[in-house]
Chain A
Amino acid sequence: NAGVTQTPKFRILKIGQSMTLQCTQDMNHNYMYWYRQDPGMGLKLIYYSVGAGITDKGEVPNGYNVSRSTTEDFPLRLELAAPSQTSVYFCASSPRPYGYTFGSGTRLTVV
């Protein structure tokens, strides 16, 4: 099994550009999550989903959007990139609301 796959692994964006971070899992997990990790700050929850068609805000949702049209996919959208969104983004999935499996991350730099 591939587990949780994130693409791209690295990206540089200019201020004001938009992009979508892709996340796919092949474990048929209902729960999916997006976190951002800043140095020394741990993991902050951006958005999460408890099943297809259901999404909810986490701690730091401003500047981001998500959708969950299928069980497998949970893309994260940045509409107007800002330097404050420079971070490492992790997607995770789980069959229950704990015990996550994480992807390997997307390192995003906004310049």
Chain B
Amino acid sequence: GQQLNQSPQSMFIQEGEDVSMNCTSSSIFNTWLWYKQDPGEGPVLLIALYKAGELTSNGRLTAQFGITRKDSFLNISASIPSDVGIYFCAGRGNRDDKIIFGKGTRLHILP
């Protein structure tokens, strides 16, 4: 079945640093999504990507849909303490009624 490989599994950064994480799949996706999960809460959608090559920003967050349609990345610029959490990538194939999730990247910000 389809699998998503998300990396890195965790990151420890200083406040103010930029962050980059990515996701690769074993098959082509038509939609890429990036979610953030805060402790004790459900994931919240950050950015949705619908076309190969698409680059979309949401404040300090930027995500891109890879041209091969098998990868995506998420960048966070000038990190702040509230960026702490788990970031999930998710993807959907052409005929699927569901999306699959990566295992997440846990972001820690050092004081």
| Chain A residues close to B by CB (< 8 Å) | 4, 31, 33, 35, 40-43, 45, 48, 50, 56, 58-59, 90, 92, 97-105
Task: Bits for B92-104, please: 1 = Cβ < 8 Å to A, else 0.
Answer: 1000111111111
Taken together as a complex, chains A and B put the C-alpha atoms of A51 and B39 apart, in Å, by: 30
Q: Is the CB of A97 within 8 A of B92?
A: yes
| Chain B residues close to A by CB (< 8 Å) | 1, 6, 9, 31, 33, 40-45, 48, 88, 90, 92, 96-104
Tell me which residues across on chain B come within 8 A of A56, comparing CB atoms: 97
B48, B88, B99, B103: the one within 8 Å of A97 (CB): B99
Taken together as a complex, chains A and B put the C-alpha atoms of A97 and B102 apart, in Å, by: 17
Q: Which of A35, A43, A50 has the most B CB atoms < 10 Å from its CB?
A: A43
Taken together as a complex, chains A and B put the C-alpha atoms of A50 and B96 apart, in Å, by: 11
8 contacts between A and B (CB under 8 A): A42-B88, A59-B1, A59-B100, A90-B43, A98-B48, A104-B41, A105-B40, A105-B42
Q: Is the CB of A104 within 8 A of B42?
A: yes
Q: Is the CB of A48 within 8 A of B97?
A: yes
Taken together as a complex, chains A and B put the C-alpha atoms of A50 and B43 apart, in Å, by: 20
Tell me which residues across on chain A come within 8 A of B103, comparing CB atoms: 40-42
